[in-house]
Amino acid sequence: MSNVGVGNDGTGKTKWWVSGIVAPVLAGLLIWYLTGNNSPFHHPNPTPTPSPTTSTSQSWGRVEVPQGYGSLYVHTAPSLSASTVAALAGGAAVQIQCTTQGEAVGGSSLWDWIGTGYVPDAYIYTGTNQPTMPSC
CB 97 within 8 A of CB 111: no
Q: What's the predicted TM-score (pTM) here?
A: 0.58
Q: What is the pLDDT of residue 11?
A: 62
- The span from the CA of 136 to the CA of 113, in Å, is 8
Res 50: pLDDT:
45
Domain 59-125 has CATH 2.30.30.40: yes
**Sequence spans of domains, the chain:** 1-49, 59-125
**Model confidence at 55: pLDDT above 60:** no
What number is the average pLDDT over the span 118-124?
Answer: 95
Distance CA 5, CA 8 (A): 7
pLDDT tens digit sequence for 23-46: 777 777 777 777 766 666 655 655
Say if residue 71 is exposed, middle or buried (CB neighbours under 10 Å; 0-12, 13-18, 19+): middle
Q: Which of 46-50, 73-77, 103-107, 120-124 has the lowest mean pLDDT?
A: 46-50
Distance CA 100, CA 104 (A): 11
Which strands sit side by side in the sheet containing 93-96, from one edge to the other?
A: 93-96, 59-63, 124-125
Query: 59-98: per-residue pLDDT in tens?
Result: 999 999 988 889 999 999 999 999 999 999 999 999 999 9
